[in-house]
Chains A and B, each alone.
Chain A
């Protein structure tokens, strides 16, 4: 599973370079997220723009990552593609995440509140 992380404007940006976040990779995703988020940053922004398909196992893994970071660190999402966005809306999990259109707007919001 390809995850790339870099520090940007005080946030840790993690880009998922995979077309699918599904049952086949959900556990590996959680494990690798634990590793890449070991470096400190209050905001962790998950760039999902490369993900074309998310199932309920993938969604559960994203929720697990958010819970693992809480309460001192926040997981935010950006770049949800059509099918991914749909799963968040159908399950109403879009109501519990901070979701940004894309990485640029996620980072600019951080600067605004800094």
Chain B
């Protein structure tokens, strides 16, 4: 089933179950707002996935969103993040945009090189974020378009048993 009817024109499939499969939220770039957004996103999709899948989703989103708060907007607390998610038959498609500084390309390329991983023996206090994102998400893509960062990725999920009926 295609998820193209974004509510503009009611198609044959756009019943209430379909609207539950789409989530979009814009929020201020602060750690506390990220918590609120995570809670809302998880609440929306919780019934469409297994509990451990929900844990994985929350971790990926937390890493992506907190990176934006800390680096793209440099912890200023000023700026907006937009998170959009769609549940399809194979998983979740997520996109995140912000108007902060460009994402350094090394964030995406170094994660392909396993030797760049923080080594546990050196007791690293950071640098895990992108490796976690890369480990858990698929189809990671980034583009910079007119002063906006756009990051997209997927989270593959077990086939739905359509538990959203309730």
Question: Contact mask A74-114 → B, CB, 8 Å, 1/0?
Answer: 00000000110011001111011000000000000000000
A91:B118 contact, CB within 8 angstroms: yes
With a cutoff of 8 Å between Cβ atoms, the chain A residues found around residue B69 in the complex are 23
A82:B135 contact, CB within 8 angstroms: no
B131:A91 contact, CB within 8 angstroms: yes
Q: Which of B55-63, B79-87, B158-166 binds A?
A: B55-63
Q: Which residue of A lies closest to B33 (CB)?
A: A24
Interface size (A, Cβ < 8 Å)?
25
- Interface status of A66 (Cβ within 8 A of chain B): yes
Interface size (B, Cβ < 8 Å)?
27
- Total residue contacts A-B, CB cutoff 8 A: 69
With a cutoff of 8 Å between Cβ atoms, the chain A residues found around residue B59 in the complex are 53, 55, 83, 86-87
With a cutoff of 8 Å between Cβ atoms, the chain A residues found around residue B62 in the complex are 22-23, 53, 55
Q: Which residue of B lies closest to A95 (CB)?
A: B120
- Interface status of B132 (Cβ within 8 A of chain A): yes
Given A22-B35, A22-B62, A83-B58: A90 touches B125 (CB 8 Å cut-off): no
The 9 closest A-B pairs by CB, nearest first: A24-B31, A83-B55, A60-B125, A56-B128, A23-B66, A55-B62, A23-B31, A96-B120, A56-B129
Measuring CB to CB, which residues of chain A are less than 8 angstroms from any residue of chain B? 20, 22-24, 53, 55-57, 59-61, 63-64, 66-67, 82-83, 86-87, 90-93, 95-96
